[in-house]
Amino acid sequence: MVQNTQVWNPGELLAPLTLEQLRKPHRSLTRNARVCEALYLAGYIEKYGTGTLMMIQESIEHALPEPDFDQPPGEFVTTLWRDWLTAHVLAGMSLNDRQNKIIPHLKMSRQITNAEYRQITGATERTSARDLDDMVKKGLLTKTAKTGRGTAYRLVQNQP
């Protein structure tokens, strides 16, 4: 089951546009103004320079992670994340109430630390570590690099 959709396009962002600027209001830079005008007149686009912001807003409104934008050499890639954590999947994981309580946080941020888990659930440090390790065993989270004193746990983007 595919858990994300990637759209690849040849070519890179036109200077001075950067990946970071795609996440805030920015002017549109086009390679072919006539194609953009034709798409606008045909009703396929509303206005230039709003597509990435609309994708981010729609993702947030549907409790999905924000899209990822990447620029490998000679290409531009957008990754849109799907929610594989359906009620049916979550019910089959036998999560406790604390673990279920952090699911919305994980869907938005895609990762959590022990300290964040404790803040959201009110669990003790030991209980938090035990719950997070259980979620790793169930294939929901993976341990990532240490962040200062603690370990970060990243949401698995593919169904186990």
Place of tokens 């798409």: 39
Distance CA 126, CA 98 (A): 13
Structure tokens, 118? 């404790």
pTM metric for this prediction: 0.54
User: Which pLDDT does position 107 carry in this prediction?
Assistant: 84
pLDDT digits (tens, 9 = 90+) for 103-141: 988 888 888 999 999 999 999 999 999 999 999 999 999
pLDDT digits (tens, 9 = 90+) for 70-80: 999 999 999 88
Which position has the higher pLDDT, 49 or 73? 73
Q: What is the dihedral of CA 144, 107, 65, 10, to 10 degrees?
A: 60
C-alpha distances in Å from residue 52, one per residue of 26, 95, 98: 10, 35, 34
CATH class of 87-155: mainly alpha
Domain 4-81 has CATH 1.20.200.10: no
Distance CA 28, CA 23 (A): 13
**Closest Cα to residue 69, out of 16, 11, 113, 6?**
6
Distance CA 87, CA 94 (A): 11
Domain boundaries, the chain: 4-81, 87-155
Residue 97: phi and psi, rounded to 5, are -60, -40
Q: Count CB neighbours of 118 within 10 A.
A: 17
pLDDT digits (tens, 9 = 90+) for 53-68: 989 988 878 767 788 8
Residues in the chain: 160
Residues 24, 68: contact at Cβ < 8 Å? no
Adjacency order of strands within the sheet including 141-147: 111-113, 150-155, 141-147
Place of tokens 């890639």: 77
User: Which pLDDT does position 156 carry in this prediction?
Assistant: 85
